[in-house]
């Protein structure tokens, strides 16, 4: 019999009586051990509900889910012994010190007293909290608190970790630290399920990504394959003035795989061979006397994958018109690349 | 906690019912420790929660002491059991607020994802409340003795009275934890508990004899649990027929725990 998946969900549904919200609508996925699964989706997509069901905190209305083959409802106690939870919902006790918090989690994970103490010291050291260990959490900065939160999830060295939006609201430095720690854990064989609104985060950490919207998976694959589905390289040309834009688009059209999108002085298109198309574009426009201020070639981002799949951006609630949002997401980037 | 496997890395695995009970004890003690440790980190909160019952003793002793008549013997002796019961009753608000705050802040979410015994959060909560109540009663008794309170019976009877008092406080902790679990918000918990507390503590035999109240109120005031517990304490500390009052008070305490504890635990276990 083959090993069970680290985390599996089959057709999970969950409706909240309050407001009659259908939070999960047939969510299914699987992830093998030792990998990072990125769960990508906007606020209210059902990411946190899914995590809460997988962590045995919430019971699904329908469907089933298992951790290392252990059913999250039937074998809930066994599941709790193999998981760690960190993120926006699982808090630490702010009236206790960092050390006390970690020792408490150790004792509640049924470690012997001495073992819980030792593990707390190890983690404090690992997360650079030794100096603040005996201070009340009330004096901790947001970043320190988040580090302690992560440490609390690691106390019992669980093989499966759930990080629910672990870097939301964090400063860039702490965010990068979190990424490094996550990568280290995965290198040691831990399976991580990470929910995020940040595409950059999923892109950097995840082996597999599922895109969730309205409580179901609307796309899945590696970050690369999802981006590849969009096609090819993105070519952005910035012109001196917008009057030339339609003519430039017409000239560049044959180079692209789809019709170019024009927005003010910006022409955006997908091309097969980036460098070749780039130099060709410059030649064609120059020959016609159109002044080019900037030219950018880049891989499509998960941002664009998300936009294409859902019709709205990851961090915006209501769906936006695709072309408008596209221009927003692309505009500043193109300018800064000049 | 007799069996500790040699495995240094993983959390211990359960293997039987006995260990299940051992863990319930372990987890409850850990949770009780959590609340007490948090309290010790806030010395000012200990100070203020100690001042309040002490002020009550002084106020009732010196402000109302002269005005309230119709009591045989010393009013201090009449009063002290009443203040004891009132203090543990109002102290139970802390249970409701504490539990609601835990839900609000999300720490219950972490507990639910840990392999701990499910009833341990509430068992630990009520255990820490019991410890806190024992301290404040000791403090009040000490001050009471300083302002004229005397045991008219004997020390074992007095201690038995304190025992009933603590039993009652423990029953209330379960009930108020249940309120905290239901309202899920610390401010709501605070205001939700007062309409329950006020009639029970004041329309009782805690401060004045029930006979001075109008007839319709007497019916309630005479039989409700606060009065019964006050009567039992008063009999055990100040003298008078004891066995009847003590039995009624114990029946109330057992009854309340038997109803409120399962109610609270069921509410806690109910998946949100």
Q: What is the mean pLDDT of residues A93-104?
A: 95
Residue A156, pLDDT > 90, answer: yes
Task: Kindly state whether residue B4 falls inside one of the protein's structural domains.
Answer: no
Residue A325, pLDDT > 50, answer: no
Long-range pairs for B154-162: beta carbons < 8 A, 24 or more residues apart: B157/B236, B157/B237, B157/B242, B158/B236, B158/B237, B160/B236, B160/B246, B161/B81, B161/B232, B161/B233, B161/B236, B161/B237, B162/B84, B162/B137, B162/B233
A231 pLDDT tier (thresholds 50, 70, 90): low
A135 pLDDT tier (thresholds 50, 70, 90): very high
Task: Kindly state whether residue B3 falls inside one of the protein's structural domains.
Answer: no
> What is the Cα–Cα distance from A265 to A288, expressed in whole angstroms?
16
Task: Give the minimum alpha-carbon distance from A167 to chain B in angstroms, rounded to a whole number.
Answer: 17
Residue-wise pLDDT for A278-318, tens only, equals: 888 888 888 888 888 888 887 776 677 777 777 665 554 43
> What is the Cα–Cα distance from B95 to B123, expressed in whole angstroms?
11
Q: Evaluate whether ipTM surpasses 0.90.
A: no
A246 pLDDT tier (thresholds 50, 70, 90): confident
Closest CA relative to residue B237, chosen from B141, B134, B136, B135: B141
Neighbouring CB atoms inside 10 A of A62's CB total 12
Which has the higher per-residue pLDDT, A173 or B181? B181
SS3 A162: strand
Task: Give the minimum alpha-carbon distance from B122 to chain A in angstroms, rounded to a whole number.
Answer: 14
pLDDT given at position A336? 36
List CB contacts of B100: < 8 A, sequence separation 6 or more: B180, B181, B183, B184, B185, B186, B188, B189
* Cα separation values, B61 from A8, B58, B65, B67, B70, Å: 67, 5, 5, 10, 15
**Number of structural domains found in chain B:** 1
Residue of A nearest to B23 (CA): A110
Q: What is the mean pLDDT of residues B176-188?
A: 94
pLDDT given at position A230? 61
SS3 content of chain A, % helix, strand, coil (to 5): 40, 25, 30
Q: What is the mean pLDDT of residues B116-139?
A: 93
pLDDT given at position A42? 80
H or E element that contains A206: none
Q: Mean pLDDT for chain B?
A: 88
SS3 B220: helix
* Spatial contact of B245 and B166, defined as CB atoms under 8 Å apart: no
> What is the Cα–Cα distance from B109 to B104, expressed in whole angstroms?
10
Residue B5, pLDDT > 90, answer: no
Neighbouring CB atoms inside 10 A of A75's CB total 16
Using the beta-carbon criterion (under 8 Å), do B113 and A111 form an inter-chain contact? no
Interface with A, mutate which of B97, B111, B114 (most A CBs under 10 A):
B114
How many Cβ contacts (< 8 angstroms) between chains A and B?
A: 92
* Spatial contact of A193 and A39, defined as CB atoms under 8 Å apart: yes
Using the beta-carbon criterion (under 8 Å), do A109 and B11 form an inter-chain contact? yes
Q: Mean pLDDT for chain A?
A: 85
> What is the Cα–Cα distance from A42 to A49, expressed in whole angstroms?
13
Which has the higher per-residue pLDDT, A140 or B16? A140
A249 touches chain B (CB under 8 A): no
Task: Kindly state whether residue B238 falls inside one of the protein's structural domains.
Answer: yes
Decide the pairing of beta strands A160-164 and A7-16.
unpaired
Domain enclosing residue B60, as ranges:
17-269
Structure tokens at B142: 């000490």
Residue-wise pLDDT for B18-62, tens only, equals: 678 889 999 999 999 999 999 998 888 888 888 888 888 888 888
> Could you tell me the domains of chain A?
7-226 (3.40.50.300), 230-337 (3.30.70.120)
Residue-wise pLDDT for A170-179, tens only, equals: 888 888 988 9
pLDDT given at position A331? 34
> What is the Cα–Cα distance from B189 to B180, expressed in whole angstroms?
6
Task: Kindly state whether residue B1 falls inside one of the protein's structural domains.
Answer: no
Write out residues 19-78 of B within 8 Å (CB-CB) of A: 23, 26-27, 30-31, 33-34, 37-38, 41-42
Selecting from A57, A59, A108 the residue whose C-beta is nearest the C-beta of B109 gives A57
Structure tokens at B179: 């309120």
List CB contacts of A319: < 8 A, sequence separation 6 or more: A310, A311, A312
């Amino acid at each position: 019999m083959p090993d069970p998946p680290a985390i599996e969900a089959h057709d999970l549904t969950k409706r909240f009586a309050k407001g009659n919200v259908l939070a999960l609508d047939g969510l299914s996925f699987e992830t093998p051990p030792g990998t990072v699964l990125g769960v990508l989706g906007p606020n209210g997509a059902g990411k946190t509900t899914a995590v809460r069901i997988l962590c045995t905190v919430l019971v699904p209305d329908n469907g089933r889910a298992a951790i290392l083959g252990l059913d999250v409802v039937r074998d809930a106690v066994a599941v709790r012994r193999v998981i760690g939870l960190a993120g926006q919902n699982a808090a630490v006790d702010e009236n206790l010190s960092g050390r006390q918090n970690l020792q408490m989690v150790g004792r509640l994970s049924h470690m012997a007293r001495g073992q819980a103490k030792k593990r707390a010291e190890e983690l404090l050291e690992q997360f650079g909290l030794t100096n603040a260990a005996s201070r009340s959490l009330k004096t901790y900065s947001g970043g320190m608190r988040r580090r302690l939160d992560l440490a609390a999830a690691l106390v019992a060295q669980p093989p499966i970790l759930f990080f629910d939006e672990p870097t939301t609201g964090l400063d860039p430095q702490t965010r990068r630290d979190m990424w490094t720690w996550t990568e280290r854990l995965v290198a040691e064989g831990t399976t991580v399920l990470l929910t995020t609104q940040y595409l950059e985060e999923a892109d950097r950490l995840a082996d597999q990504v599922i895109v969730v919207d309205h409580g179901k998976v609307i796309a899945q694959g590696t970050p690369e394959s999802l981006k590849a589905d969009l096609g090819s390289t993105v070519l952005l040309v910035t012109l001196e003035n917008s009057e030339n834009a339609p003519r430039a688009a017409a000239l560049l059209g044959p180079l692209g795989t789809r019709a170019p999108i024009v927005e003010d002085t910006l022409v955006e298109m997908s091309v097969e061979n980036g460098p070749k198309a780039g130099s060709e574009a410059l030649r064609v426009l120059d020959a016609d006397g159109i002044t080019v201020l900037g030219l950018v070639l880049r891989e499509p981002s998960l941002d664009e994958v998300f936009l294409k799949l859902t019709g709205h951006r990851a961090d915006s609630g209501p769906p936006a018109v695709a072309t408008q949002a596209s221009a927003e997401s692309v505009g500043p980037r193109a300018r800064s690349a000049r | 906690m007799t069996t500790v496997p040699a495995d240094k890395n993983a959390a211990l695995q359960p293997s039987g019912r006995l260990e299940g009970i051992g863990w319930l004890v372990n987890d409850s003690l850990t949770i009780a420790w959590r609340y007490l440790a948090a309290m010790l980190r806030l010395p000012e909160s200990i100070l203020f929660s100690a001042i309040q019952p002490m002020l009550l003793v002084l106020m009732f002793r010196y402000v109302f002491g002269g005005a309230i008549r119709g009591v045989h013997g010393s009013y201090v002796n009449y009063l002290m059991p009443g203040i004891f019961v009132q203090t543990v009753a109002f102290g139970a608000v802390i249970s409701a607020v504490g539990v609601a705050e835990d839900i609000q802040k999300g720490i219950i979410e972490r507990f639910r994802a840990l392999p701990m015994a499910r009833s341990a959060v509430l068992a630990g909560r009520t255990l820490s409340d019991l410890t806190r109540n024992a301290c404040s009663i000791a403090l009040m008794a000490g001050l009471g003795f300083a302002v004229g309170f005397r045991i008219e019976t004997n020390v074992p009877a007095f201690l038995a009275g304190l025992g009933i008092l603590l039993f009652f406080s423990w029953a209330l902790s379960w009930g108020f934890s249940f309120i905290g679990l239901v309202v899920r918000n610390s401010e709501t918990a605070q205001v939700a508990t007062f309409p329950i507390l006020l009639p029970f503590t004041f329309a009782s035999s805690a401060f004045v004899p029930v006979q001075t109240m109008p007839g319709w109120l007497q019916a309630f005031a005479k039989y409700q649990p606060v009065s019964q517990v006050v009567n039992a304490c008063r009999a055990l500390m100040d003298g008078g027929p004891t066995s009847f009052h003590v039995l009624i008070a114990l029946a109330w305490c057992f009854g309340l725990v038997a109803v409120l504890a399962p109610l609270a635990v069921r509410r806690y276990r109910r998946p949100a």
